[in-house]
Amino acid sequence: MSKSAISQFQCQTCKEMRYHTVDVPDHENKISRSSNGLVVHSDIHRCSDGLLNIYNLEIDANYAIRSFTQLKLPEFRKALPQSVPGLPAPKIIHDEDRINFKITKMLQENGFRLVIYDDMANVSINIGEVNLKNELIISRLESDHGHIRIDYYYSELPFTSNVEKLLLVLINTLAVVPPTKIGLFIETLRYIHEIQTSPPSDFHIKLLKTILTTHETYFMLEDEENIEAVTDDLKYKYGDEMGNFAKELVNHLKDNPMATLQNFMTLESETHKNDDLIYVIHTFMLIEQTGLLLIDRPGIVND
């Protein structure tokens, strides 16, 4: 078993003390090749708003954190001149002009290694320590309008047709919603990693899109009189935990009709710990299928 060390810091958002595990042999190897005696590590955790928070940590040879940076995308896309109403004109952005984000590791094992380029937001996100100068691209995917692309590099997770389909959904969705936290992007990649072994269903594609609009997705109750009947039916089909959790969500929505999906991530639940964004979205989508509520996903056209 590989030796490990612990580096400690405090999240600036939720004030939680974070204990980052450092693989000692790997860290020592990178320190020996570092020009400044520091190695960048990424710490990813679920923060007080229920979304993933990402820090890049600069760690020295003694496993002390010398500095850290919280990763956030710009709040809004930059406006570009338009050649056709509603469609931004193409614009060449040079790599040296981009805002570059690096995430060293997204998953404990079998993770992605890719770089996503967003010309509208003028950013690139490098996941998995891709060396852009020395590594060859396995596959390149572009959004329908060409503003966003993903370069996929050799990864523990092979590039398959399922992965390709899901990544295309990802970049075409990113093209129509304003970016906020990188955490939403990472959460979506984690979901792709979870379901990539099978061809994506319409339900999974819609769930993937919903993750990216978490920050402003909201709900409308359509049939309050049938809450008990619908949640009892969900309990019968999917078990007590899911049915009871669905009932809690719907009752909270009834009392708080303007609540967003992000609000539900911090809801105190008696039946389920609300720290799993995908589980919360999945439950809401099962309720949506019953006709009890509608989910409004800004910028996303329901198929």
Domain ranges of the chain: 4-70, 82-199, 218-296
Of residues 283 and 77, more confidence is placed in 283
Of residues 41 and 84, more confidence is placed in 41
**Quick one: average pLDDT of 104-111?**
76
Task: Give the Å distances, CA to CA, from 44 to 51, 57, 71, 228.
Answer: 10, 11, 10, 38
**Quick one: average pLDDT of 129-146?**
91
CA count, 13 A, side-chain hemisphere, 231: 20
| Single pTM value for the model | 0.80
For the record, the structure tokens of 34 come out as 């570092």
Identify whether the C-beta of residue 280 lies closer than 8 Å to the C-beta of residue 265.
yes
**Quick one: average pLDDT of 211-222?**
83
Confidence of residue 82 (pLDDT cuts 50, 70, 90): very low
Model confidence at 255: pLDDT above 60: yes
Model confidence at 212: pLDDT above 50: yes
pLDDT at residue 75, as a whole number: 60
Percent of the chain with pLDDT over 70: 85
Of residues 220 and 108, more confidence is placed in 220
Residues 6 or more apart in contact with residue 200 via CB below 8 angstroms: 162, 165, 166, 169, 208
